[in-house]
Structure 1
Amino acid sequence: MPKNNTDNTLEEWVEHYIKTEEPRSKSLIISVFGDAISPYSEGIWLGELIQLMEAFDINERLVRTNAFRLSDEGWLTSQKQGRRSFYSLTQSGTRRFESAYKHIYQSYNIDWDGQWTLVILQKNFEATTERTELRKELEWNGFSLLSNGVFLHPLASLDTARQIVERNGYQDLALIFRARSIEDSDDFSNKQKIRDSWNLGEVKERYLKFIADFKPASKLLKKSKLTPQLAFQLQTLMIHSFRRANLHDPLLPNELLPHDWPHNEAFELCKSVYHVTCEQAHRYVRETTTIDTRSNSGDRLNIAVKDRFK
């Protein structure tokens, strides 16, 4: 089935997308947790998660295996009650989700003052597991590793950098600055050199693929009868695909971006679909699990569901 064939139904598009793209089950579980579970509930019973993931042709064995792996990787924690297991986010997982929410669900239009936030680790300090975790969290928040032990971002606040450093126990070993570079000239281009430290080419290709994949779905949505399950499938697959590009996007100011940067087009496409699918998608969660998506505004974490894509 061609991706741009709008004579097909939305159900056929979803079936085709799942079959051809084969989204990774572990990553898709994270998308379901972030988009539909964590805003309303501390977690979910494993049996209910298995039921939700059936919508994407992911079998029970894979759900069980990947829930265990996500626990092992520090995303989830589990509690036993008899033979049942309840999976919820760890503190680390919650921080990652709240950081991701700012990326995924908020638009950005940035005025840049031309300064850079730098986190510099003292030299001759041996690599450790903790240092690896620090690097992961800095990069998760859009910092780039400019050289060994030197991370920078044009927009991250000093307070954000301090919190990341302190959470990872590096307050005695890190220096944090807000600094300005010399102006670019014909012989010396700081902006280009620094921009090259982010892999913007790969991010751009992911955005373009997202747009090419989901534009046909957006057109089919306008003439489809939307059921809760179909809304849940489309919304989850869309957020899953969008976040794969968006969470690698350092959200740089316009002065540092290529002129044809596709973030805004991808964001607006995601926004238009989400506004149609959200209520029905979260109704499906309510009907399939014991999570009551009517009980609040989905405001357990830092951005409420009602405030997404404003």
Structure 2
Amino acid sequence: MRRLGGQVIEIAPGSPSHINPMDIRLDIDEDESPLSMKADFLLSLCELVVGGKDGLQPIEKTVIDRCVRLIYRDMALGIGAGKPPLLQDLYEELLKQPEPEARRVATALELYCTGSLNLFNHPTNVDLTARVVCIVLKGLGENLRKIAMHITNDFVTSAVNVNFHNGISTWCYFDEFHILLRDALTASYFVAVWKMLRKKGCVPSALTQNVKDLLASREIEAILDNTDFMILLAQAQSDRAILAKQLGISEHQLSYITHSNSGEGLLFYGDVTIPFVDRFPKGEIYNLLTTRPEDLKNEAKTE
């Protein structure tokens, strides 16, 4: 990513990189009001924060929606500096409300505003205009991972909308996709990406090594139904059986992903299935991509 001059955004406690979940673009024409979409996003974010099997209650949703509109009022009217609020502004506005439900939501938000998990309570300080942007979430613990994924998804949607408004297509790559489908809220988001964001010039691509976990998701069928292009490399026996049933792969075709070498597999494009062999040439790009221990060892020796 850095070799391509891209922006690497590492989301983790102590990281200098920050994405403000309250960022909003009010100047983009959408089918739905940007403020209404942001309110809906913040409702689902608060639902993640508050937790519980029943989620937010109707009164809690009402006070959150009220507070969201209050903290964006000046920005929507073009008054003041025009800077987007922070999560703490929502927290403080909730504390001003008379309903006890508002205080309950505010108390749950406190950890992420003034508490030890406040990494999303800062203005965005990364270059979002870079041609390629990589968001890294691997440094997050379980308490923050779901929230970070939800905020990242909103960031991606916003970037796609801005690019579409400017006549630009957006290529989105989601690595370790089986992990992203474990959470119901995130999984439903990716179904929407594959169905709806494609209409806004988004080209989504998912990568995973764990086919069994991926196909265990209830949402994967809707995603596969909206996928025109797929590459399969060597697969374990149990995964091959699942794939054969799910994708209708013949025994002969399965032989191309059985004990196959690196760069060999099956390519699916529409109704066409093609076996392929790709001997990737060694050089600078190979050295950047390889994760083979022997390659890394040899590279260390040459240095």
TM-score class normalised by the smaller sequence:
under 0.3
TM-score, normalised relative to structure 2: 0.28
**Relative contact order, higher structure (CA 8 A, sep 6+):** 1
Larger Rg: 2
TM-score, normalised relative to structure 1: 0.28
